[in-house]
Structure 1
Amino acid sequence: MMLIIVVIQLMILLNNVCLSARFNVRMPQRCPSKCYCDNDVLQRKRVTCIEGGLNAVPVSQMDNQTQIIIVKPASNKAENRISIGRIFTNLEGLEEITISKSNLPAIGDSSFFHCKRLKLLDLSENRLRTIESRDFFGLHNLKKLNLSANELSGLPSAPFHVLINLTHLSLARNNIKKVVPRMFYKLRNLERLELSGNPINELNATDLEDLPKLKELLLDHCQIQAIHPHLYQSLTKLESLDLSHNRLTAISPYEFKPLLHLSSLLLDHNFLTVINDFTFFNLSNLVQLSLANNRLITLSVCAFCGSAVKRLDISSNNFSLFVVNVSQPLSESLKELNISNNTVLHNPSLSFSNLIKPLVKLQKLYASSLKLDDEFDDTLFTNFTHLTHLDLSSNRLTNLSSNLFVSTEALENLDISRNQIYSLDANFFHALNSIASLKFFYLDGNPWSCYRCHIMPLIEWLNQMPSSYLNVCDRRRETDANQHCIECSTPESFKGKALHLISDKDLEWCSHPRLQLRLTASEPRVGYALALVIIISLVIIIVSVVVLYRRHGAVYYTGEEDRCPSLKIPPSCMAVMEDIHPPLTESIADNNSFANGTQAGTKPKIRF
């Protein structure tokens, strides 16, 4: 038995020795002094030079079996100034070459001719100004070519025609102003093309006609103002199209119709003002559509007709109104919607309702900074049984009804932070407790009233130690700097202090709870109504005083006639009236004289 155990141990030891020897055999036999050598995860021999200060690639010091060369100085090292030619003659086993950030001025005729097995060539972040087809002679098996962040400008026709098996090509962040005819000739196997960050103004119908297998096209951060609608007719395999950060002002109806397999379409950060009917017609496989940060004013009723989108972003635009049923074509497909930061809606609550109602399959809704107030329908989410994320932050909500969450049993993340909420009643928290899936609840940034009559329902809920709040506010911390913790706004003695740092016995009572509740609310309409009532009351009081005064004066003077009939004023009356109305007394005396004179037959005196 012991003999068997000894034999087994010897076999294990011999096996370990053999493995060690095999590993050492695969390690590079020679290594340049300014580089380090190892094996990658596929056990390929690799030489990495990151020390900087190189004037040439040290191929003469490398093992002939080297398969990967990486020459790229670290950020804190001296820069390289490298030139290459036919220096890889003895390294026929090379599969990957990276020469980056090395001030390489040119590639050179047939520099890689002997690298028949090369799959990846990365010459990014150099100083290449032009390329020729002869630069790539011998690279029939090359799969990936990275020429990004160089100084390429005027490229000739068909510079890549020898790269018949190329699948990835990056020309991003160069100075290419125009796609010349047949620039991509013979690249029939290309699947990914990056032209991002070039000052390209327009694309013509035939610019990409030689790329029948293209799946990803990146044209972001260019200066594109117009794209010929027929450009896409030869790109029927396209799955991802990035046109963000350009100068597009309009998109034609049915423009994307040939792109049956398109799953991602990015049109954000352009100058679009309207999305016309059938713009996205036939895009039934669209997963992501971004129209954010444009100048969109409206969506036509049939903008999404004939399409299916799972994630839609229309945030940060200039929408004035969302018409009824504009989102109806997406009712079965849309799972995520971002409508945030549309601040010029004429009737935010109505528009919000028009857009959201048909989307009962929504899982994530981001609706911050819309100026939503308490007028929006509290039964809006009644049928939203799939909703997991709801963001209503940075709006003008002062209260939330418990009806809001009747059917949202799948809700995991609720954000009502940075609104104008000062108090929530017990019914709201009772409805909240029925959502067992809730993991994160954000309440911070509201003007909470920490008077006892306002804050107690919230405190009673917090005393239950709800995990949804504790996950965003660590109550164990003893500072006021908790980012998502509730802070008091009133009374003044508690302003800015975290609620969980205040003892219940220190809470102040409201002297007039109903009045206090109104005065602490940040609701402009209450102030306007109160001011209007005060003004109307003052007007009524003033008018009443004036009317009463005039009536009193009329009775006073008519009373004089009653007390002194036939204008014969007794001396007692005259004595009183002389003190009050001297002119009138004089006139009445004249009238008495006139009457007496007439009766006595004497001629009365006429006064003017």
Structure 2
Amino acid sequence: MLWAATVAVVSAVAAIFVGLTEACPDGCRCSLDRRGRREVSCTEGGMKDPIPVLEMPQDTEVLLISSTESRPNGLTLGPIFKRFRHLEEINIVGSGVPALGAHSFWGLRKLRSLNLTQNALSALMDTNFKGAVSLRHLDLSHNQIESIPSAVFRHVVHLRTLDLSDNRVPELVPRIFFGLTRLERLNLSHNPLGDLQPERFSDVPNVHHLSCANCGLLSISSTLLQSLHQLRNLDLRDNRLTAVPPHLSLLPTLEVLRLDGNHISFLERGIMSGAPITHLTLAHNRIIRIESGAFYNCSVTHLDISYNRLSHIEKGTLGDVLSHLHSLILSGNSLHVDQLLSVLPNALKLRSLGIGDMGLTRIPPDLLLHARHLHQLNVSANYLSNLPTRILYSTPHLQLLDLSMNSFRGLQEDLVVALKRAAELLQLRLEGNPWQCDACHMTAMLEWLHSAPDQRSGCGDPLVWSCLTCVGPRQVAGMQISLLPPGDLPDCGMTTVAWPSWEISSTRKVTEEPYSTSSQAGEPPRLPSGPFTIHGNEEDSWSFRRLVEDDLHIVITAACSLVALILLLVIIGFVLYNRHSAYYYTHEDDPEKREKLMKPPEESKNNNGTSKSPLKSKVEPKMDATIATIDELKDINGSQELIDITENGDDVEEDG
């Protein structure tokens, strides 16, 4: 019996091995995936038509075809999978497929997942998916689809996930989702839709997740919200919405609302009232004001209002949510530290706090006095040169502390002691600071680094601190701090880099990249540039580009003033020129001068043809002249003869 069982097992293993190796296309790999399914993987690229299906095992369950940038594929699809009755998953990615043929997936009754992303599809037909009756997940993202007819998905009524993102669909035609009553996730992001018409979603009443980021939306109607009453996650990022969609209480199951990157300028009172939302993100908008009571009677526990234009938060603005808020991100706003002191002490359940890139030069010791449950603290991209130790002692459960991109020249001894006692601190980010590696600033920190701290760094390898480098003094500039000998640090007197001064600027663009550590001796280090503060000693590096970036309003005002001055000078010149011409043309206000001007000069002949003066002057007198009408000439002495001569001359010319 034992011998027979052994033979049977060996035979089964041999059969599986032979089955896996008996047929596999060149350049592909045939094996079992993590779930034990028979997989054919062709990922080397360079594959051209036809797809080598005849060389694949007939019992293949997973098919993966992709390409590389240097070796693109060029494939087409048709009814070529009929013999693969066990196929459950097809992934043909980045293979240049221009179209889906009719009945390409006919007979694949076990097919549950179809991934055709990053191809060249431009249109869909109602016969493309006929026969794939068990399909659950369909990914058509990152194609060039411009046309989707009505009821094109009616043959895949069990579909749960549909991804049409990153295409060129201009509009949703009527009944486009006909038959998809079981659909739960729908992604329409990055299509130029412009509007979401409520009637288009009547066929998908059970959608839980709807994404329409960067769709050019201007507004969201309350009728649309009513038709999606099962919605839990709504992603409307990077559109052109100017206000939070009203009547959010119509969505009784909505938990996540993403409105980042829109044009929202304020939050009105009661806008979130009655909404069951727990996660609300409003980052990168234009919010300048949050009215008191905006979060009245709401359930928000995670609030992100970073990178807006807030300069003031009233004491009661966030009072309705602070008591149950778990995450608060305020980074990138020009809020004064006193504003934080009036808000944060009431956030007793706070787990995550972001106050980075706010131009802060100090952190009050009592700022987080009541934040005992805080796990993450981000104060990066500010101008901090010191962190009060009470911050660490007030947050005993802190797990992540981000001090990167600040103005730390070293870590003071009491802060190093506090870091050693922070038993739950898992990650500490210190990169991007202007470290001064002399005996005054670096002794305690270097000793701590050499003792192999338990915290992970923010460097490429989180287990080492290789990204911490010295800015000065000159003899150690650019060196890794962890490689410095602890007993041979430069003297404090040899440090010639002086502290920079800071002043406020409200229009400075944030700098994300770490600043250079190549400062020369005698020059201040290149410290981080946030959006609200600039270096006070930047006159030496003046440029027109910096002037435009920092003082754009001054440049615009000066340009407008110059244009106005030029226009004023042109108008004055035009008026003076017209007045001179009028004076030259007529002297109606001075008849005597007009008569004097019309008299012939003394050197001219009189009516008898004789000269009044036998002698001519060496310098001929300047003659005044004007233009007059025939009637006016008749009133001038001696002009009748001139009129007669002129008329006779005209007659002679006509006769000629």
Alpha-carbon deviations, 1:512-533, whole Å to 9, x = none?
xxxx99x9554559xxxxxxxx
The residue matched to 2:176 in structure 1 has which SS?
coil
Figure out how many residues of one structure are paired with residues of the other and give that number. Answer: 496
Counterpart in the other structure of 1:94: 87
Counterpart in the other structure of 2:287: 296
1:26-425 map, 5 Å: 27=20, 30-32=23-25, 35-50=28-43, 51-84=45-78, 86-254=79-247, 256-284=248-276, 286=278, 288-342=279-333, 344-345=334-335, 348-374=336-362, 377-421=364-408
Alpha-carbon deviations, 1:176-196, whole Å to 9, x = none?
011122211110111111212
> How has the CA–CA distance of structure 1 residues 451 and 209 changed in structure 2, closer, same or farther, with 3 Å as cutoff?
same
The residue matched to 2:166 in structure 1 has which SS?
coil
Give the C-alpha shift of residue 175 in structure 1: 0.8
Give the C-alpha shift of residue 41 in structure 1: 4.1
Counterpart in the other structure of 2:467: 483
> How has the CA–CA distance of structure 1 residues 275 and 64 changed in structure 2, closer, same or farther, with 3 Å as cutoff?
same
In structure 1, C-alpha distance between the alignment counterparts of 2:185 and 2:489, rounded to whole Å: 65
In structure 2, C-alpha distance between the alignment counterparts of 1:381 and 1:195, rounded to whole Å: 42
In structure 1, C-alpha distance between the alignment counterparts of 2:59 and 2:436, rounded to whole Å: 74
Counterpart in the other structure of 2:507: none
> How has the CA–CA distance of structure 1 residues 110 and 396 changed in structure 2, closer, same or farther, with 3 Å as cutoff?
closer
> How has the CA–CA distance of structure 1 residues 350 and 66 changed in structure 2, closer, same or farther, with 3 Å as cutoff?
same
Give the C-alpha shift of residue 165 in structure 1: 0.6
In structure 1, C-alpha distance between the alignment counterparts of 2:374 and 2:254, rounded to whole Å: 26
> How has the CA–CA distance of structure 1 residues 396 and 89 changed in structure 2, closer, same or farther, with 3 Å as cutoff?
closer
Contact 2:106 2:130 in 1 (8 A): yes
In structure 1, C-alpha distance between the alignment counterparts of 2:426 and 2:76, rounded to whole Å: 56
Alpha-carbon deviations, 1:484-510, whole Å to 9, x = none?
36x4657x7776666673666766467
Contact 1:294 1:316 in 2 (8 A): yes
In structure 2, C-alpha distance between the alignment counterparts of 1:424 and 1:151, rounded to whole Å: 54
Greater shift, 413-422 or 462-471, is seen at 462-471
Residue 350 of structure 1 aligns with an amino acid whose one-letter code is D
Give the C-alpha shift of residue 166 in structure 1: 0.8
In structure 2, C-alpha distance between the alignment counterparts of 1:426 and 1:211, rounded to whole Å: 62
> How has the CA–CA distance of structure 1 residues 508 and 248 changed in structure 2, closer, same or farther, with 3 Å as cutoff?
same
> How has the CA–CA distance of structure 1 residues 313 and 63 changed in structure 2, closer, same or farther, with 3 Å as cutoff?
same
Contact 2:392 2:418 in 1 (8 A): yes
In structure 2, C-alpha distance between the alignment counterparts of 1:82 and 1:91, rounded to whole Å: 18
Give the C-alpha shift of residue 439 in structure 1: 4.4
> How has the CA–CA distance of structure 1 residues 43 and 472 changed in structure 2, closer, same or farther, with 3 Å as cutoff?
closer
> How has the CA–CA distance of structure 1 residues 413 and 126 changed in structure 2, closer, same or farther, with 3 Å as cutoff?
closer
In structure 2, C-alpha distance between the alignment counterparts of 1:123 and 1:414, rounded to whole Å: 42
Contact 2:106 2:132 in 1 (8 A): yes
Residue 46 of structure 2 aligns with an amino acid whose one-letter code is G
Alpha-carbon deviations, 1:220-241, whole Å to 9, x = none?
2332222223212222322222
Counterpart in the other structure of 1:557: none
Structure 1, unmatched stretches of 5+, are: 1-6, 526-608
In structure 2, C-alpha distance between the alignment counterparts of 1:217 and 1:473, rounded to whole Å: 35
The residue matched to 1:309 in structure 2 has which SS?
coil
Give the C-alpha shift of residue 451 in structure 1: 7.3
Residue 484 of structure 1 aligns with an amino acid whose one-letter code is L
Give the C-alpha shift of residue 372 in structure 1: 1.6
Residue 287 of structure 2 aligns with an amino acid whose one-letter code is L
Residue 198 of structure 2 aligns with an amino acid whose one-letter code is A
Residue of structure 2 aligned with 1:459, choices 438, 443, 450: 443
Give the C-alpha shift of residue 409 in structure 1: 1.8
In structure 1, C-alpha distance between the alignment counterparts of 2:26 and 2:410, rounded to whole Å: 70
> How has the CA–CA distance of structure 1 residues 34 and 401 changed in structure 2, closer, same or farther, with 3 Å as cutoff?
closer
Contact 1:440 1:468 in 2 (8 A): no
In structure 2, C-alpha distance between the alignment counterparts of 1:90 and 1:473, rounded to whole Å: 52
> How has the CA–CA distance of structure 1 residues 269 and 507 changed in structure 2, closer, same or farther, with 3 Å as cutoff?
same
Greater shift, 196-205 or 237-246, is seen at 237-246
In structure 1, C-alpha distance between the alignment counterparts of 2:332 and 2:303, rounded to whole Å: 14
Give the C-alpha shift of residue 167 in structure 1: 0.8
1:537-552 map, 5 Å: none
> How has the CA–CA distance of structure 1 residues 11 and 203 changed in structure 2, closer, same or farther, with 3 Å as cutoff?
same
Contact 2:51 2:75 in 1 (8 A): no
Contact 1:294 1:317 in 2 (8 A): yes
Counterpart in the other structure of 1:544: none
TM-score (ref. length: structure 1) = 0.71
Counterpart in the other structure of 2:525: none
In structure 2, C-alpha distance between the alignment counterparts of 1:64 and 1:496, rounded to whole Å: 61
The residue matched to 2:198 in structure 1 has which SS?
coil
Give the C-alpha shift of residue 370 in structure 1: 0.7
Residue 224 of structure 1 aligns with an amino acid whose one-letter code is L
> How has the CA–CA distance of structure 1 residues 384 and 496 changed in structure 2, closer, same or farther, with 3 Å as cutoff?
same
Give the C-alpha shift of residue 243 in structure 1: 1.6
In structure 2, C-alpha distance between the alignment counterparts of 1:499 and 1:108, rounded to whole Å: 62
Give the C-alpha shift of residue 242 in structure 1: 1.8
Residue 360 of structure 2 aligns with an amino acid whose one-letter code is L
The residue matched to 1:20 in structure 2 has which SS?
helix
TM-score (ref. length: structure 2) = 0.66
In structure 2, C-alpha distance between the alignment counterparts of 1:57 and 1:451, rounded to whole Å: 66
> How has the CA–CA distance of structure 1 residues 108 and 349 changed in structure 2, closer, same or farther, with 3 Å as cutoff?
same
Contact 2:412 2:445 in 1 (8 A): no
Contact 1:204 1:227 in 2 (8 A): no
In structure 2, C-alpha distance between the alignment counterparts of 1:494 and 1:358, rounded to whole Å: 46
Alpha-carbon deviations, 1:352-378, whole Å to 9, x = none?
22332221212222211111233x542
Matched, 1:19 2:6: no
